[in-house]
Structure 1
């Protein structure tokens, strides 16, 4: 597949997943943003959703390309300016070579925890889906700032998801589908945790049990990975 075809597919996928924001409950209207890592043939960068555009009106050509070596975020390419949260997308890609896609959203239950600045402990073994024994909540900072980006990177250290205090959530993954699926999973965990808090005191699993779960998760989804590889090879 040539570079032009691959870029067109990635742009279409970003639009497709943006349209899923509202039905999935992850975000409404123009809130939330998505990006994928992309090399334009000259430099490593990212394709990212633009600022303030309703996802029902978003077109593939509306997406922005921003080089990762552009620390100012001023050299973007596209008809519309990139999301106001471009900075932590860029900084995550620079710090995490394992990450191929970033999702940021404001889902109801995860945000309800975030406004209490409450991390999500191991009340359920599936918390390990985010890569660790808990899901951290990054300290508050104004949106779009370097401080917010630093806080998010710290909360994501060794993790694939975090909450942002008084703000929302971030999930990262190797590809866009995985980042989106993780966002849905984190929001469902947040809903369950809030219900547990409302009806009693959740029992938190011990560290050694979570370590066993994390080890088991290393091979979890192997069938899905094989299927994806097989499907890709069939093209």
Structure 2
């Protein structure tokens, strides 16, 4: 994909995230690898007003290499994840309401539904809390994402990875859907039945043969 096409795709995904209600008050951010660095949404700019030219180009060590705006304040976890995860080509970070609510209880999403496997494992972990925009948060996020495509950030939101921007967004949207279902079960006073490791392994195998699942 050319740089122009990738910039347009990042903006498209960021605006879709905003329209879905996943980015209240200009929260959340989107990035994608480009060459040996990345392109990321800027800080403080409403997504509806963001254009491809507003994106910021960064080195993987966080140095700005192009763009007239400041990068998202969460650039440290984007760069840390790309350094730790060669398989990640795109990152979508949301503050989607139900998943963020669950993150404020600092509870992971267990395998109460087989679609948890879309997120890369048998659960969606909740990373330890750290102040936004810090290296501590970046370190916590990398640990929570080990072997996974998604994680909750305690008292914060969701991070989703993908081999493409569309794939990362699909995972982020599914985490929000699953969090809503899980919270509804808990609110009803019901105890979710958790699928065992063997079943989740079978589901993962089926997903592997079912086209590309992000």
Partner of 1:9: 5
Q: What do residues 21-79 of structure 1 show as CA deviations (whole Å, max 9, x unaligned)?
A: 2222321231110000001xxxx1000000010001101111000011x3xx3434211
Question: 2: distance between equivalents of 1:78 and 1:144?
Answer: 19
Are 1:53 and 2:45 counterparts? yes
Partner of 1:209: 199
How do 1:123-202 and structure 2 match up within 5 A? 123-199=112-188, 200-202=190-192
Question: 1: distance between equivalents of 2:134 and 2:107?
Answer: 22
- Is 1:140–1:164's contact at 8 Å kept on the other side of the alignment? yes
- Is 1:29–1:55's contact at 8 Å kept on the other side of the alignment? no
Question: 2: distance between equivalents of 1:144 and 1:61?
Answer: 23
Gaps of 5+ in 2: none
Which consecutive segments of 4 or more residues in structure 1 shift more than 6 A? none
Question: 2: distance between equivalents of 1:211 and 1:118?
Answer: 22
Are 1:83 and 2:82 counterparts? no
> Structure 2 residue aligned with 1:62, among 54, 59, 68?
54
Larger Rg: 1
Q: What do residues 69-101 of structure 1 show as CA deviations (whole Å, max 9, x unaligned)?
A: x3xx34342110100000111111111111100
Gaps of 5+ in 1: 226-235
Q: CA separation of 1:16/1:59 partners in 2, compared to 1, >3 Å: closer, same or farther? A: same
Question: 1: distance between equivalents of 2:78 and 2:209?
Answer: 28
Question: 2: distance between equivalents of 1:15 and 1:32?
Answer: 13
Q: TM-score, normalised by structure 2?
A: 0.96
* Alignment size in residue pairs: 213
> Structure 2 residue aligned with 1:30, among 16, 20, 26?
26
> Structure 2 residue aligned with 1:219, among 201, 206, 209?
209
- Is 1:160–1:173's contact at 8 Å kept on the other side of the alignment? yes
Q: Which moved more, 1:76-85 or 1:151-160?
A: 76-85
* SS of residue in 2 equivalent to 1:20: helix
Partner of 1:228: none
Q: TM-score, normalised by structure 1?
A: 0.87
RMSD between superposed Cα atoms in Å: 1.4
Question: 2: distance between equivalents of 1:191 and 1:158?
Answer: 23
Q: What do residues 168-219 of structure 1 show as CA deviations (whole Å, max 9, x unaligned)?
A: 0000001101101111111000101111111111111111111111222211
